[in-house]
Amino acid sequence: MIILGIDPGLNKIGYGAIETENGLRVIKTGVICPPPHFTFKMKLENISRNFEELIENLKPDVVAIEEIYLGKNVQIALKIGQVMGIIEGLTLNKKIKFSLISPREIKKSLTGRGGATKEQVKFMVENLTGYKEFKKIDESDAVAVAISYLNTEGKDDWIYKR
């Protein structure tokens, strides 16, 4: 099974794909970064095009998306919601299952604590996968989303083999 984890954002969308055929293996990570001078509409078009290409290349069985953390800026949260809507829409169009997972649930499923730091989550992702080549924290966060899917909703689909 291939699970594509997504760490959504307005200017950076982290992604990390794992496969579970022979244990747990990271197969691709990266960050979709629309150019900063793009208008919001242009960013959405860029994200849509890049995400569609990503799912066509990886052919994931599931797309796991981190839910929005609602901070102090509601306008940014609404825009990130639009980014998530594009990702969800493309996933539905390709008839791929998707799942939304809260930040707290992701942290708890990997570290046992819902209030864990990004560094603690990255440490656990590296230990579980053996993959230590993350260039950006958005990549390890996205892999954490994918692993969290396995630990919660996907646990019946997969048995972790050490």
Domain limits, the chain:
2-156
**DSSP structure class, residue 8:** -
**Which is catalytic among the residues 19, 67, 138, 139?**
138
- 17 with 60: CB under 8 angstroms? yes
Amino acid at 64: A
**Which is catalytic among the residues 19, 66, 67, 105?**
66
At the top level of CATH, the class of 2-156 is: alpha beta
pLDDT digits (tens, 9 = 90+) for 8-42: 998 999 999 999 988 899 999 999 999 999 999 99
With 70 as the cut, is the pLDDT of residue 155 above it?
no
Among this protein's residues, is 7 annotated catalytic? yes
pTM: 0.91
Q: Give pLDDT, residue 160.
A: 39
Among this protein's residues, is 61 annotated catalytic? no
**Which is catalytic among the residues 7, 19, 67, 139?**
7
Among this protein's residues, is 138 annotated catalytic? yes
Neighbours of 139 (CB within 10 A): 24
pLDDT digits (tens, 9 = 90+) for 55-111: 999 999 999 999 987 667 888 889 999 999 999 999 999 999 999 999 999 999 999
